Structure 1
Amino acid sequence: MPKPYPEEFRRDVVAVARKGQAPLTQIAKDFGISESCLANWLKKADIEDGNRPGVTRAESEELRELRKRNKLLEQENEILRRAAAFFARELPPKMMYPLVRDLAADRIPVAVACRVLGFSKQAFYKWAEEPVSQRDWDDAHLINAALDIHADDPEFGYRFIADLGYEAGENRVQRLCSLQGIYSVFAKKRGLTARPGPPVHDDLVNRDFTAASPNLLWLTDISEHRTAEGKLYLCAVKDVWSNRIVGYSVDDRMTAALACSALRNAIGLRSPHGTIVHSDRGSQFRSRKFVNLLTRNGLRGSMGRVAACADNAAMESWFALLQHNVLDRKRWDTKEELRLAIVHWIERTYHRRRRQRGLARLTPVEYETLNKASLAA
């Protein structure tokens, strides 16, 4: 079954086709898709823009969301009805966790019940496993003892409390005192210092930008480009084996969503496993969203050092090539104009026309086409 193309790639191809600068057959060939596929994308785009009758994606999603919302409202009404009966007993219960358990037995999701009743589902699951843990009891006794000792002698801190013979370590007593705001009256508040955090991943590349087969090593980075309307940011993912840009995303904001979108596009087209994804230590690549995306797809993260551009030199050289061939050629008035120029250069010129000496004077698409059969053999 063929892999679906990313939505961002479809929009870019449709935008290029609508400009009418080349026949549809040539555009489909330049972007590596069939002519019927391009015609289908244009038809759907006309429906979305209201130029053609049909059900748009927004209308389909709206109908689906209305059905989900209707079902959710029915579940919430049932929860409120059951909760009113639950607390109208002669002896009202002290907690609502048993009600959530009864609702779950009647196929009402725990997340919905917890949200309507006003607490987190994690708290319910924790209670279901162990209503009151032994450590909670011990912490409660330690907190009571710490409050009593601090009330008698406010000048003493957590160290004095930990030395009184209780079966608890000093770090544990410090944590509990910090949670309860128990500090010595002579304690000094330490100022906060801004220090860079540790890298999320180790450097698995060590400036060796070579790969014996596809999807072994990917490089990624983000660059910014100026237009009359403001800045435009490009995040690209490059396969070192063929130097092909396997995923990219363009946006007017440099956020973690931009890096995740580019990586998600690359994953959708290549289906990698165990691939090393090397980047710099930008906040976008150190974000929780990006790290979780790597983990969920079985990819291995790698990061260079701070202020060492040579640790990602192969990706920096590609952005320099883009700067020379596209960005420095003219002054760009609109973001959309620059976006289409970048996409057109990547898909048509760089992938299918620009021959590289490192690839035996082949283009990235030709190199992959010729070598995939030999690698499979």
Structure 2
Amino acid sequence: MPKTRPPYPAEFRQQMIELAGTGRTPAELSREFNVSAQTISNWVAQAARDRGLPPPGKEGLTTAEREELVRLRRQLKRVQEERDILGKGYGLVCREKRRDVDAVFGLVMTNQAAHCIRTQCRVLGVSASGYYAWRDRSPSPREVENAVVTERIRQAHADSDETYGMPRIRAELMDQGLRISRHRVARLMRVAGIRGVSRRRFIVTTRRDERQRPAADLVNRQFRATGPDQLWVADMTYVPTWVGFIYLAVVIDVWSRKVVGWSIGEQMTSELVLNALNMALEQRRPDGVIHHSDQGSQYTSVTFGNRSKEMGVRPSMGTVGDAYDNAMAESFFASLECELIDRRTFKTRTEARMAVFTWIEGWHNPRRRHSGLGYRSPVNFERNQQAHQPAAQTEAQREQAIA
């Protein structure tokens, strides 16, 4: 037996109103017909309002007005639901030639708990039968392959600490033996919501010492080298922590983009850049390398100049505050900032120091792919060049012997 009584028929209500009009009270009718006196009173008052003669203190809407109000509320609810559906499907319903029906059906499936499936199909301009056929259809070989490739993209993105965009993700997949186009990688990343990081704006940190004479610019923005240790670029940046800054000085080989020397300290001193230079000299042992930097007081210091002269390093300096004069070093710091500094908060200087060290020696040099190196890491680029060098030398010796 239902818990709630069904509504009284219209004919029954009309008879109660007519009986009340003959002079019988709602209480008498209630005892006789098993209807509450309050319900009968409400029916009588509503009939009076419909006739335009509402009882004093019981003014309100007529039956026609109530029905119109119910209709408008239902219509408003339907319009709001359609608006919500269109908002979720923005961009999928405004095209003359639809080629993304799978995306529309996927949207319908995602929101089936919130909206009726047939209503969604009607609003989005697809058939409900088409949706059910799509839902019950087994995935195509292409869809299965896309799912597998998407997981490989997710793994490559995670391995890069979620920094890689489409070009480097594609290079990773190509190295794994997967032949795939740029557009397909971009599309799968877009569908999966996978994005790389973007760089922040450049901030000038160079402070020139007017008392020191800078070296000449031997590079003139031509950051090219045909072999290792021909041209180095150097610069400094800061890393913020909760307790202050730490400062990083680096020396980069233009040929391979490898950081060949670095130093981390708590002050921007000539000792900081000198330590980075000494590391580079110890690791590479160059002969007549050009060391290009800005005109910061640390690089124009007497101590740094004497060390460069002692080791046969040829100093070169760009202008003050012009990022293009030391573009390669600025590009390195832009990558460091957008991939590490801007995405982390360091509580202590020790924590920041370890993170920067790991990024340089554990990521940038051995693993990070560079577009200027054919999407190879600096270590792999140098290893590849060294592997080809003996073969080239052997071929040259063979040609000399024949001659």
TM-score norm. by structure 2 comes to 0.44
Q: Highest CA radius of gyration, 1 or 2?
A: 2
Compare relative contact order (CA 8 Å, sep 6+) and give the higher one, 1 or 2.
1
TM-score norm. by structure 1 comes to 0.47
